[in-house]
């Protein structure tokens, strides 16, 4: 997910700082250049398809960050506002930081067909199927990337000696996309995600803040041109303008970060998307170049490339926790999982119960919804009642 438009809070690796900052004059420019070459090679061995070096001055991004927060576009994600401008000042977060090693790791499952985007669009039209964002169908990426970045830092330490560093992946409070773009790992697309002309946007980002004055890479030239496909396709019009995202309307935010009731006006546009949303990435022409994952961690689990929505809705909390162990989905909890599925089932019931719909599917959805109609959670019950009200079975 390149940094998601709605990032998930996570812990970062503990800071490692056991020596004074590295003195560039004592190491030498040639030695630092050689070290960067080795860092990139080690990164490739660890599953990263690109590693760059970024300068950590993000002062140019501060005004946009503060305006976004002031407009309330971060919604309930208070952690986005808590650190204010520190998000744009890595050296304040980890004193001594002068560079960031920025890396990306592809997550598109290795078995994805050549026309994978067409397959994903087809799933959105199947009312029996629950659509889960591609990045969340495998293992929790936080653990995978954090471990690999730590291994990369350890290799640097073996070669250079002790140095100060801290590992992050999708964790507060770092402006990952701005940092990655500054290091030439890609450019920020109009959907706010990082894009690369050779790899699209189907990748995770991670970084190591370091006190080594490595030679920084230049930024990449933006290449979106006049294209607005990501803006045009957004089901909830969450992309207000190029590079401006209102998280409160984003399906990824609503299904993952938002803890309360989903606004009724946004339920129908959600369709059968029950965890995250990939529409803006599916529409992006650059994703025809998306790389496949090289790690088995991102292979599809639990049949999540085309799961039966009604069956998922009947999972008990124990089954939810057991099946989703090691999955990023587990962190939203069983209650919000059911809330999301109830909305999806309501939208599917509307389609299946319509004239020329699928009567058998409509009956199965009704049965699943009624089975949980007296759920202990008021939040779940309210969404179930909404879902049942979407039944448009013609009166004979």
Query: Where is the binding site for [4Fe-4S] cluster, in residues?
Result: 224, 227, 230, 234, 250, 277, 280, 284
Model confidence over 255-284: pLDDT tens digits? Answer: 999 999 999 999 999 999 999 999 999 999
Rounded to whole angstroms, the Cα distance separating 159 from 347 reads 56
The pLDDT-based confidence of 1 (bands split at 50, 70, 90) is very low
Please say whether the dihedral angle defined by the alpha carbons of residues 123, 124, 128 and 130, taken in this order, is positive or negative: positive
The reported pLDDT for the residue numbered 8 is 38
- For the chain, what is the mean pLDDT? 93
Which residues are annotated as part of the binding site? Answer: 87, 170, 194, 205, 224, 227, 230, 234, 250, 252, 259, 277-278, 280, 284
State pTM to two decimals.
0.92
Omega prior to 345 cis, within 30 of 0: no
CB 287 within 8 A of CB 201: yes
Taking only the tens place, the pLDDT of each residue in 141-188 is: 999 999 999 999 999 999 999 999 999 998 758 899 999 999 999 999
**Residue stretches of the annotated binding site for tRNA:** 259
Domain boundaries of the chain, sorted by first residue: 24-126+134-258+284-301
Instruction: Give the model confidence (pLDDT) of 302-348 as tens digits.
Output: 999 999 999 999 999 999 999 999 999 999 999 999 999 999 999 99
Name the residues annotated as catalytic.
Answer: 170
What is the rounded CA–CA span in Å between residue 369 and residue 360? 14
């Amino acid at each position: 997910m390149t940094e998601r438009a709605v990032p998930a809070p996570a812990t970062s690796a503990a800071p490692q700082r056991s020596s004074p900052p590295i003195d560039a004059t004592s190491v030498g420019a040639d030695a630092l250049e050689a070290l960067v070459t080795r860092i990139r090679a080690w990164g490739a061995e660890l599953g990263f398809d690109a590693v760059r070096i970024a300068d950590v001055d993000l002062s140019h991004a501060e005004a946009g960050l503060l305006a976004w927060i002031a407009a309330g576009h971060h919604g309930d994600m208070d952690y986005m506002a808590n650190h204010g401008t520190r998000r744009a000042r890595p050296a304040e977060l980890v004193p001594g930081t002068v560079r960031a090693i920025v890396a990306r790791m592809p997550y598109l499952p290795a078995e994805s067909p050549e026309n994978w985007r067409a397959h994903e669009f087809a799933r959105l039209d199947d009312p029996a199927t629950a659509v889960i964002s591609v990045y969340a169908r495998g293992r929790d990426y936080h653990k995978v990337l954090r471990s690999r970045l730590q291994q990369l830092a350890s290799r640097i330490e073996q070669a250079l000696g002790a140095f100060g560093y801290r590992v992050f992946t999708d964790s507060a409070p770092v402006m990952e996309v701005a940092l990655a773009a500054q290091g030439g790992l890609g450019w920020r697309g109009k959907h706010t995600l990082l894009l690369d002309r050779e790899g699209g946007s189907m990748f995770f980002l991670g970084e190591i803040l370091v006190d080594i004055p490595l030679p920084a890479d230049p930024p990449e030239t933006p290449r979106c041109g006049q294209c607005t496909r990501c803006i045009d396709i957004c089901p909830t019009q969450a992309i207000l303008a190029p590079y401006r995202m209102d998280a409160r309307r984003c399906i990824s935010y609503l299904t993952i970060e938002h803890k309360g009731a989903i606004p009724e006006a946004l339920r129908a546009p959600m369709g059968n998307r029950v965890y995250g949303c990939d529409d803006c990435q599916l529409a992006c022409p650059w994703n025809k170049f998306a790389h496949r994952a090289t790690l088995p961690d991102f292979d599809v689990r639990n049949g999540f490339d085309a799961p039966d929505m009604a069956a998922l809705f009947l999972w008990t909390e124990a089954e939810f926790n057991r099946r989703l162990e090691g999955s990023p989905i587990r962190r939203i909890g069983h209650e919000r999982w059911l809330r999301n599925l109830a909305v999806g089932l309501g939208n599917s019931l509307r389609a299946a119960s319509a004239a020329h719909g699928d009567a058998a599917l409509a009956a199965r959805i009704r049965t699943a919804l009624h089975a949980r109609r007296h759920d202990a959670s008021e939040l779940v019950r309210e969404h179930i009642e909404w879902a049942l009200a979407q039944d448009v079975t013609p009166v004979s």
